[in-house]
């Protein structure tokens, strides 16, 4: 299965929707490039919908860390939401839940980003 994504931007807030499987290093190159452009334009609060992301491995985790780093480097934040059980377990096992803000819904993610 391939990896796809959509980004919707509104002022300083962007919604990312990740889909498919994020398992190869180069799959997310375009996503990272677009994230850099967003942060450079002042859009630094990102809600990342993972409901359609079926699977990811360490390369996927690396991509998420890159996104978070890019947002925080310019004073922003990235919040993950709608994680499936496998990905939620992966985030817990790797202790990345201490690094990321993770919520169950878009509404909760947006509340965190509004602060």
The listed CATH number (3.30.750.24, 2.130.10.10, 1.10.730.10, 3.40.50.2300) that belongs to domain 3-114 = 3.30.750.24
Residue 25 confidence (pLDDT): 86
Torsion sign across C-alpha atoms 58, 62, 65, 67: negative
Residue 111 has pLDDT above 90, yes or no: yes
* Structure confidence at residue 27 (pLDDT): 94
Whether 65 shows a pLDDT value over 90: the answer reads yes
pLDDT digits (tens, 9 = 90+) for 13-64: 999 999 999 999 899 999 999 999 999 999 999 999 999 999 999 999 999 9
What does the mean pLDDT of the chain come to?
Answer: 95
- How many beta carbons lie within 10 A of that of residue 66, not counting itself? 16
Segments making up each domain of the chain, as ranges: 3-114
- Banded model confidence at residue 115, pLDDT cuts 50, 70, 90: confident
């Amino acid at each position: 299965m391939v990896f796809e994504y959509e980004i919707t931007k509104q002022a300083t807030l962007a919604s990312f929707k990740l889909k498919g499987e994020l398992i190869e290093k180069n799959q997310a190159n375009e996503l990272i490039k677009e994230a850099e452009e967003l942060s450079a334009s002042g859009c630094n609060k990102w809600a990342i919908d993972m409901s359609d992301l079926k699977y990811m491995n360490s390369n996927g985790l690396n991509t998420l860390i890159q996104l978070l780093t890019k947002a925080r480097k310019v004073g922003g934040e990235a919040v993950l939401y709608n994680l499936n059980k496998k990905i939620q377990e992966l985030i817990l096992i790797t202790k990345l839940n201490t690094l990321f803000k993770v919520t169950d819904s878009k509404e909760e993610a947006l509340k965190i980003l509004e602060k």
